[in-house]
Amino acid sequence: MPVPARKRRRRTPGQIARGVRRRARRLAGRLRHVWRRSLQLRVVTSTLVLSMAVVVVLGVFLMQSIVASVLTSTEVSAVEESRANIATASGYLTQPVDSTDITQDATAQGQTMNPVDAAARALTDRSGGRYDVVILNEGSVGEGRASGQIDWSSIPALLREKVQSSEEQSLWDQTVKIRYIGAKQPESAWVVGGRVNGTYEIYHVFPLGEEEKTLLTVQQMVFGAGAALVLLLAGVASLVTRQVVTPVRLARQAAERLAAGRLEERLKVRGEDDLARLATSFNEMASNLAVKIHQLEELSQVQRQFVSDVSHELRTPLTTVRMAADLLYEGREDFDASSARAAELMQNQLERFESMLADLLEISRYDAGAATLDLDPVDMRDVVLRAVGDSETLAERQATRFELRLPNEPCMAEVDSRRVERILRNLLFNAIEHGEGKDIVVTLGADRDAVAVAVRDHGVGLKAGEETMVFDRFWRADPSRARTIGGTGLGLAISREDAMLHGGWLQAWGAPGEGSQFRLSLPRAAGSPLRGSPLPLVPPEVEMRRTWRGHATPVLTPAPVEAAPRARENVDAGAFDAE
């Protein structure tokens, strides 16, 4: 039976708008990324914008100058020709003419032409088609004579008022949109008007069509020349910046290869300019850096070899001293009180010395890059329970209880269980050392990609800036404070190296009076990149208090809690670090 095709849901306008905004943000992000990374793009774009601004300003100024020049010459010639025509027309219009004699139509052939028609015909003949003439009578509103099919009602009333109120032979001019009777389209024209014989108004209409075409052609030429100039400047800027950016880009690539460990990387030196001197200085710096790094590597190798040799050489006399100390410790009951106490102190210090020697050997393996992982898929809950069981005896001695928060489902991960247990034991011993007898919370969390274990104590806490220093070798927050449960001062440093060997994180948080929390985050699959942790670094209750102080309502999801069984196996606390 065929399966019916699923009907595609239609997207709502809101979904479409959100999709468009997401795509726009992604595009804007890509553009910002390219803009920040490309010096040549920024220089060319800046040159392009500035040159466009300069070209626009110059183009506007040039066009204004050209338009003013063209219109000024047109105005001057129109006024001069209008003045001469008005003097000619005054000879035809010596006698007043009744308004009934002034018509828009031409006089019938054979009839006697009245003075208005005669004046209009004379002025039209003189124009040679360059302009038209409109003759109006002040006493006859809406009647007049016009050549060229001009609708004389398109003469502005304001211009007529000026002409009517002016003296004889005075001229007024204005740019007007002239309308025509018939199919001819309106066009711009320069109208020059004057008053004749106290009754008549004569207007000379000079069309500006040719001037407008000329100005449009000039405008197109200016625009084209400006665009070509802008593109030319952009190309020149691109070529010039390329000559500067290319050596800088080569220097950047060489610096990256040098930082990656290719100490033989050098730049080619061409010429004697500033860029050539930069390449020379870079090569000298790289040579000196290679020499210094080589010297430091030799010194570091000597130091690592010295630590390794001393650690190995100390094992033989330490074994002999250990055997003698064991005999003295076992027979301490036959000694007097002071000798028995000395035997106990020697036994404790030898155990601590052995622990320190083991840690030094482990550190030397990390420094030499010889540390390896023995990976197996394990349930992290079992690893946590074994580490807690190993720490039970020490916790009871310090009157400290463990509170475990473990998920109900298995948390599988590919890890070296021995190293992860050592990390957790060091974190638990550190929490017992500084927890001041208060409960220690151990939380295990997991998501699809990572697992995390958080060890929370409620002791003295950490000051600002000590979150990273706590992992330094032999570091103590209070140098005057003695270690109450032993330790060598290398435990957390080794734990960080173990976490980094797994490709994970070991992080610390603390605040004075609120205790501290150490979080171990590991990828579930060996070799996978770690992008986040399933547990917060700041304890939820601390975050909740901060949120309440900010007058907000927090929403917290408690982690599943599973009671921890009492450990049946005990270990000597002196074998691990409590810092």
Q: Is residue 186's pLDDT more than 80?
A: yes
pLDDT band at 562 (very low <50, low <70, confident <90, very high): very low
Residue 576: predicted pLDDT? 32
Q: What's the alpha-carbon Rg for the chain, to the nearest Å?
A: 49
- Which alpha helices (DSSP H) does 449-518 contain, by range? 466-469, 491-501
Instruction: Give the mean model confidence (pLDDT) for residues 23-39.
Output: 82
Nearest in space to 200 (alpha carbons), one of 106, 117, 266 = 117
Instruction: Give the mean model confidence (pLDDT) for residues 114-120.
Output: 72
State pLDDT tens for residues 38-84: 777 788 888 888 888 888 888 888 888 888 887 777 778 778 877 77
The tokens describing 161, both together, are 């008022």
State pLDDT tens for residues 446-476: 988 899 999 999 888 888 877 788 887 777 6
CA torsion 546-549-551-553 (nearest 10°) is: 40
Burial class (CB in 10 A: 0-12, 13-18, 19+), 380: buried
Which residues does 427 contact at the CB level (< 8 Å), separation at least 6?
Answer: 453, 455, 492, 495, 518, 520
Report which residue type is found at 13.
P
To the question of pTM greater than 0.75 for the whole model, the response is: no
Residue 111: predicted pLDDT? 43
Nearest in space to 201 (alpha carbons), one of 193, 190, 191, 211 = 193
The tokens describing 552, both together, are 């907000």
Distance CA 226, CA 165 (A): 48
- Phi/psi for 510 (5° steps) reads -165, 155
Residue 565: predicted pLDDT? 36
**In percent, how much of the chain has pLDDT > 90?**
6
Instruction: Give the mean model confidence (pLDDT) for residues 235-262.
Output: 80
What are the CA-CA distances from residue 25 to residues 18, 21, 28, 31, 36 (Å)?
Answer: 10, 6, 5, 10, 16
Distance CA 360, CA 358 (A): 5
Report which residue type is found at 139.
G
State pLDDT tens for residues 484-517: 555 566 778 888 888 888 889 899 988 888 889 9
The tokens describing 42, both together, are 């920024």
Residue 453: predicted pLDDT? 93
202 forms beta bridges with 135, 194
**In percent, how much of the chain has pLDDT > 70?**
81
Instruction: Give the mean model confidence (pLDDT) for residues 535-553.
Output: 72
The tokens describing 424, both together, are 């957790």
Which residues does 138 contact at the CB level (< 8 Å), separation at least 6?
Answer: 164, 199, 200, 201
Q: Is residue 383's pLDDT more than 80?
A: yes
Report which residue type is found at 177.
K
The average confidence (pLDDT) of the chain is 76
pLDDT band at 566 (very low <50, low <70, confident <90, very high): very low
